[in-house]
Chain A
Amino acid sequence: MKFDRLKEIVEDPWGTLGEMKERGKKVVGYACSYVPEELIIAAGAHPARLTGTREGIRLADGHLQSYCCSLVRGILEDGLSGRGAVLDGVVFPHTCDSIQRLSDIWRLNVKGGFHLDLVLPVKLDTDSARDYLVDVLKRFLSDLERALGVEVSEADLRASCLLTNEIRRLLHELYMIRWRRPELLAGADLHLLNRAVGIADRNLIVETLREAVADLGADGARETTKGNKNILLAGGMCSTPDIFNLVAEAGGRVVWDDFCNGGRMFLEPLRLDGDPIAAVADRFLSRVVCPCKHRGLTDRANHLKALATERGAGAVVFVHLKYCDPHAFDFPYLKAELEKTGIPSLLLEVEDPLPPGAQIRTRLEAFLEMLD
């Protein structure tokens, strides 16, 4: 299929990053969507989103208790096992409590490479927070320049903003195509793409997306109407096992997702006039928040309800990583708000990779049956 090359990349992320490095590219690992890729790209480096190992855990358990999410554990394992040694540096943003501690533990135990903490504001709805955010991004850029031994010009920043905007635009288009004609693109492919976007060379991503859009986009007229079994995936997890496929196998149809590694990636393009750093800051401020951030009390619920209506979803399936506090805190409220608009929901607590066994499948099937 179209994404063969991406499949190889996703299956062997460290091999891919190693090859880039051999070609002389600097590689910077980062842990969450609140790290501005634009700045890393502008500094001539390749941003690699860390999503945790798919191999077994051997070393991370010596540093983390059992009640820590699989993403944090998986990322640390990649560091401790030496796989992460291809990274020239890592960036940890301020998100959840677990990521804060991951940053410390990585800094103390994984040697080599630079280590940057991007201590973003948690509040995103005040003037002082915006000023602080801009300050922090500026400092981040100068830290990156020092660490990578480069000087970044405004033209570099503009070019990288154009590139990431193009990826956002194409991803959005692909989501729209699939929304209109779900049969054109398997959920598994979308999932693959969402993972690849954080790992592969971004120019390769643009190329692949352009081809895919050109191939699939020919006939885009038919619209999906609201259907009981149209599913909106939500939870915006930092890393997502392939739940698209599971929903399809259980008889549902994923029409959209609100994952951090998915439908939320392309929300809000960057403004291209004015100061690029301010534009990056403003995008973070205006994008619907991740539950680790605060922007009013109803932001996420409003977003989710609107998204469900707009995409004709009959139900929402929340997918949370076990031990993920921020998402777990929001769930009862989001569920209640969706119910008020007649949208039922189901919560799946998972790990990444998914544990073997049929439990999740059974729960999904039972839920979908109920939607008849």
Chain B
Amino acid sequence: MNARTDEKERKKIKAVKKMKEIMTFYYIDAKTASETGKKVAWITSGGPVEPLIAMDVIPVYPENHGAMIGAAKMGVELCEKAEAMGYSGDLCSYARSDIACATVNGGPIGGLPRPDMLVCCNNICGTVLKWYEIQARYFNCPLFILDTPFCHTSFSAEAKRYVRRQIDEYITFLEDVCKKPFDRDRMAEVGRLSIEGQRLWQAVLDTTINRPAPMTAFDAFFHLALIVTLRGTQQAVDYYRLLLDEMNERVREGVGAVDEEKYRLLWDNLPIWYRTKWLSDKFAAHGACLVADTYTSAWCSSLKYMNEDDFLESMAEGYTRIYLNIGVDEMARTVIAMIDKYGADGLVMHSNRSCKPYSLGQYDIRSIVERERGVPTLIIEADMCDERNFAEAQIEGRIDAFMEMMAAKGSA
């Protein structure tokens, strides 16, 4: 082995293998649920999964599946199929992929297991409401909607009461579908594990405060899967402890994710799943490390509202006040806090055609950030799953120009 491949080996995150293993078993479990007598719930990525875990229901995430479809570069084919079914090409490509996939059991894992119930929380967007209505009709199965009022400037007392009441409705719904009583002790335990998992995930993300950063946002995109799908389980806690140890070890040894880290950038919006490697290499070639992002941190951003000794009570607030369910100005404040915390000197925004709640408002966030911190912004117009909206040459040109500008700024 020469020094180069040696270095490459050293940079590989070892936990990746473990993660792949866990996810494979998780999907096998989910796909064989009908044989093992377990129930399956499809749930939105920002949805309250803990009560499902407490009820021994296997949660399945169409959005995580969407990410897999995107990463496997199967998005275009499925999106086109959805368009042939009459869905507009302007709709969220996760939704389009999933709706099409359900009818053909396509995609990288031959489709998701049939749901016994659907749980939709609209804290991330209005898209999921329509999408889950469609699937509820298609699979003819019960749908629970957790309606989390938008917090433009505040979380009102009325909204809090409303969401809190719905948590009880949710529990009744689960008892009905599962035909068994809800176990509050078990719930308390799951709640504690969920919070512990979220704290560990935040700690993992925070290792990038170090220079050089031991991992990048592109790594975070990958390791995110467990905090989304297995939040509230011991498995997720164990995994993130392992990952955290490895990151801390790298920090001690001074192993950086990017050779000669010169620039530290913050990523905004969903990943561009079919081009993560390309983008990662592209930025690394300029000595730029994407040290943090607004997306993967959304799964621990509510920690401040959560009470581990009373999970059910604090859930209403925690699930309502998440990143996408707040006003543009509060989002900008979050971005600024991240720039400060991670020492970022530039912002990369993925203007994502698929995701209007995430993307509309980005231009204002950019202006606020530029005004308050003088940090330059690069905007990449694309889509998370639909590769037809990725103009490679143009994006490459913009990245190069941005990095040259950063370099000039640095030497000025």
Interface residues of A (CB under 8 A from B): 62-65, 67-68, 72, 94, 96-98, 100-105, 107-109, 117, 119, 121-123, 126, 128-129, 131-132, 135-136, 139, 291-292, 294, 297-298, 320, 322-323, 325-326, 328-333, 335, 347, 349
Flag if B86 contacts A325 (CB, 8 Å): no
Kindly specify which of B190-198, B225-233, B354-362 makes contact with the partner chain.
Answer: B354-362
User: A328 is contacted by which of B91, B165, B351 (Cβ under 8 Å)?
Assistant: B91
Flag if A123 contacts B133 (CB, 8 Å): no
Known: A98-B356, A126-B169. A333 touches B87 (CB 8 A): no
B372 at the interface (CB under 8 A from A): no
Flag if A132 contacts B363 (CB, 8 Å): no
Flag if B90 contacts A101 (CB, 8 Å): no
Flag if B363 contacts A119 (CB, 8 Å): no
Shortest 3 CB-CB distances between A and B: which pairs?
A: A332-B86, A329-B130, A132-B162
Q: A323: nearest residue on chain B (CB-CB)? A: B90
Q: B351: nearest residue on chain A (CB-CB)? A: A65
The docked-state distance in angstroms from the alpha carbon of A220 to that of B55 is 62
Residue among A68, A101, A320, A333 with max Cβ neighbours from chain B (10 Å): A101
The docked-state distance in angstroms from the alpha carbon of A343 to that of B119 is 33
Interface residues on B, range: 35 or more
B147 at the interface (CB under 8 A from A): yes
Flag if B126 contacts A63 (CB, 8 Å): no
Q: A127: nearest residue on chain B (CB-CB)? A: B165
B166 at the interface (CB under 8 A from A): yes
Q: Which residues of A contact B340 (CB under 8 A)?
A: none
Q: Which residues of A contact B137 (CB under 8 A)?
A: 297-298, 333
Residue among A67, A98, A136, A328 with max Cβ neighbours from chain B (10 Å): A67
Flag if A101 contacts B149 (CB, 8 Å): no
The docked-state distance in angstroms from the alpha carbon of A132 to that of B137 is 27
Flag if B134 contacts A333 (CB, 8 Å): yes
Q: Which residues of A contact B169 (CB under 8 A)?
A: 126, 128
Flag if A97 contacts B360 (CB, 8 Å): yes
The docked-state distance in angstroms from the alpha carbon of A63 to that of B362 is 8
Q: Which residues of B contact A320 (CB under 8 A)?
A: 88
The docked-state distance in angstroms from the alpha carbon of A121 to that of B158 is 11
The docked-state distance in angstroms from the alpha carbon of A36 to that of B149 is 18
Smallest beta-carbon distance B301→chain A, Å:
18
Flag if B356 contacts A328 (CB, 8 Å): no
Flag if B329 contacts A108 (CB, 8 Å): yes
User: A131 is contacted by which of B162, B359, B360, B361 (Cβ under 8 Å)?
Assistant: B162
Using A101-B328, A122-B126, A325-B90 as known contacts, list a sample of 13 further A-B pairs with CB atoms less than 8 Å apart, ordered by residue number in A: A67-B356, A68-B360, A100-B357, A103-B152, A132-B149, A132-B159, A139-B156, A139-B158, A297-B133, A325-B130, A328-B90, A329-B134, A332-B86
The docked-state distance in angstroms from the alpha carbon of A330 to that of B95 is 13
User: A326 is contacted by which of B86, B87, B126, B165 (Cβ under 8 Å)?
Assistant: B126
Flag if B90 contacts A294 (CB, 8 Å): no
Flag if B130 contacts A119 (CB, 8 Å): no
User: A97 is contacted by which of B87, B126, B134, B328 (Cβ under 8 Å)?
Assistant: B126
Flag if A121 contacts B162 (CB, 8 Å): yes
Q: B332: nearest residue on chain A (CB-CB)? A: A108
The B334-378 residues at the A interface (CB cut-off 8 A) are: 351, 353, 356-357, 359-364
Interface residues of B (CB under 8 A from A): 85-88, 90-92, 95, 122, 125-127, 129-131, 133-134, 136-137, 143, 145, 147, 149-153, 156, 158-159, 161-162, 165-166, 169, 327-329, 351, 353, 356-357, 359-364, 381
Smallest beta-carbon distance B356→chain A, Å:
4
A-B contact pairs, 9 of them (CB 8 A): A62-B363, A67-B356, A67-B359, A98-B356, A117-B152, A119-B149, A121-B162, A135-B158, A349-B88
Residue among A104, A132, A331, A332 with max Cβ neighbours from chain B (10 Å): A104
Q: Interface on chain A toward B: helix, strand, loop, or mixed SS?
A: helix
Q: Which residues of B contact A347 (CB under 8 A)?
A: 86
Flag if B86 contacts A335 (CB, 8 Å): yes
Q: Which residues of B contact A119 (CB under 8 A)?
A: 149-152, 156, 159
Q: Which residues of A contact B156 (CB under 8 A)?
A: 119, 139
Q: Which residues of B contact A294 (CB under 8 A)?
A: 129, 133, 145
Flag if A109 contacts B360 (CB, 8 Å): no
Flag if A101 contacts B357 (CB, 8 Å): yes
Q: Which residues of A contact B158 (CB under 8 A)?
A: 132, 135-136, 139
Smallest beta-carbon distance A60→chain B, Å:
10
Q: Which residues of A contact B362 (CB under 8 A)?
A: 65
Q: Which residues of A contact B136 (CB under 8 A)?
A: 297
User: B147 is contacted by which of A102, A117, A129, A298 (Cβ under 8 Å)?
Assistant: A129
Smallest beta-carbon distance B146→chain A, Å:
9
Flag if A122 contacts B147 (CB, 8 Å): yes
User: A104 is contacted by which of B149, B152, B356 (Cβ under 8 Å)?
Assistant: B152
The docked-state distance in angstroms from the alpha carbon of A63 to that of B328 is 12
Flag if B143 contacts A297 (CB, 8 Å): yes
The docked-state distance in angstroms from the alpha carbon of A132 to that of B164 is 11
Known: A104-B361, A294-B133, A333-B134. A325 touches B329 (CB 8 A): no
Smallest beta-carbon distance A131→chain B, Å:
7
Q: Which residues of A contact B126 (CB under 8 A)?
A: 96-97, 122, 292, 325-326
User: B328 is contacted by which of A65, A104, A349 (Cβ under 8 Å)?
Assistant: A104
User: A329 is contacted by which of B87, B122, B147 (Cβ under 8 Å)?
Assistant: B87
The docked-state distance in angstroms from the alpha carbon of A36 to that of B152 is 20
Flag if A100 contacts B131 (CB, 8 Å): no
Flag if A65 contacts B359 (CB, 8 Å): yes
Known: A100-B150, A119-B156. A105 touches B364 (CB 8 A): yes
Q: Which residues of A contact B85 (CB under 8 A)?
A: 332
Flag if A329 contacts B162 (CB, 8 Å): no
The docked-state distance in angstroms from the alpha carbon of A277 to that of B291 is 51
The docked-state distance in angstroms from the alpha carbon of A129 to that of B163 is 9
Q: Which residues of B contact A103 (CB under 8 A)?
A: 152
Q: B120: nearest residue on chain A (CB-CB)? A: A294
Q: Which residues of B contact A107 (CB under 8 A)?
A: 152-153, 327, 329
The docked-state distance in angstroms from the alpha carbon of A119 to that of B152 is 9
Known: A100-B150, A136-B158, A330-B130. A63 touches B356 (CB 8 A): no
Flag if B359 contacts A129 (CB, 8 Å): no
Smallest beta-carbon distance A192→chain B, Å:
29
The docked-state distance in angstroms from the alpha carbon of A101 to that of B365 is 12
Flag if B150 contacts A94 (CB, 8 Å): yes
Q: Which residues of B contact A94 (CB under 8 A)?
A: 149-150
User: B130 is contacted by which of A72, A117, A291 (Cβ under 8 Å)?
Assistant: A291
Q: B124: nearest residue on chain A (CB-CB)? A: A97
Q: Which residues of A contact B361 (CB under 8 A)?
A: 101, 104-105
Q: Which residues of A contact B153 (CB under 8 A)?
A: 107, 117
Q: Which residues of A contact B147 (CB under 8 A)?
A: 121-123, 129
The docked-state distance in angstroms from the alpha carbon of A349 to that of B83 is 14
Q: Which residues of A contact B143 (CB under 8 A)?
A: 297
Flag if B356 contacts A325 (CB, 8 Å): yes
Q: Which residues of B contact A64 (CB under 8 A)?
A: 360, 363
Flag if A329 contacts B131 (CB, 8 Å): yes
The docked-state distance in angstroms from the alpha carbon of A171 to that of B152 is 35
Smallest beta-carbon distance A151→chain B, Å:
21
Q: Which residues of A contact B351 (CB under 8 A)?
A: 65
The docked-state distance in angstroms from the alpha carbon of A142 to that of B50 is 37
